[in-house]
Amino acid sequence: MSRFNEHGLTPQQEAFAVAVAAGSSLSDAYRNAYPRSLGWKREHVHVKASEMASSAKVQRRIATLRAAAEKVSTLEAARVLDEIAKLAHSDVSGIMHPDGRVKLPHELDDATRAAVASFEIDASGRIKYRFWDKNAALEKAAKHLGLYEKDNEQQATPIRDMLASLGGKVVGPKKSQGDRQEPTGAGGE
């Protein structure tokens, strides 16, 4: 049995690379990979962790793990947007056959199935579908596309217009004639 994995790393090097790719500091990753180092001086752990991090094989593995994690998170964001789009474009007629019969859940196309929140089949075989809120999906899609930002930019408020017309020349409230100015500074008692 080889003590190296398919990436040419020892189990400790793999554990180190995984921990660094997950966001651990080099020293923490080293301590995780080599538990005996928990009793070492910090400086010694730091040197050993730096040496391991400078290994080309370890650097490649860290880069590969980070790229895979980034790809997964990117795919998840794309999938969320895809699901929102399915709901926003959903059509309830997808639950019907051309002859008017209601389709069974396994007969629904992907887009219609994504729009269904739940379904019930009663004892006589009647199907009751409940759909996700299409308005909420449309609102989320509009926010993602920045449609509300454009709308908000067009709305003018009286206070914003007034402040813009002053051009930053706002001093403070005007004192009434009955107000007395208090002296300030040394000897002004």
pLDDT digits (tens, 9 = 90+) for 56-112: 999 999 999 999 888 877 777 788 888 888 888 889 899 999 999 999 999 999 889
Let me know whether 127 and 142 are in one domain: no
Q: What is the pLDDT of residue 189?
A: 45
Q: What is the pLDDT of residue 185?
A: 53
Pair 53, 20: CB distance under 8 Å: yes
Q: Look at residue 2 and tell me if it is in a domain.
A: no
Q: Count how many Cα atoms sit within 13 Å of the Cα of residue 129 in the half-sphere of its side chain.
A: 20
Q: Look at residue 28 and tell me if it is in a domain.
A: yes
Q: Look at residue 112 and tell me if it is in a domain.
A: yes
- What pTM does this model have? 0.44
Let me know whether 21 and 66 are in one domain: yes
Q: Look at residue 40 and tell me if it is in a domain.
A: yes
Residues 6+ apart with CB under 8 A from 80: none
Among candidate residues 74, 128, 125, 116, the one with its CA nearest the CA of residue 91: 116
Q: Look at residue 110 and tell me if it is in a domain.
A: yes
Let me know whether 32 and 58 are in one domain: yes
Cα–Cα distance, 112 to 93 (Å, whole number) = 9
Let me know whether 23 and 73 are in one domain: yes
Q: Which range is least confidently modeled, 41-55, 95-109, 175-189?
A: 175-189
Residues 6+ apart with CB under 8 A from 84: 137, 140, 141, 144
Q: Look at residue 70 and tell me if it is in a domain.
A: yes
Six-digit token pair at 9?
Answer: 């790393």
Range of the domain at 70: 11-78
Q: Look at residue 187 and tell me if it is in a domain.
A: no
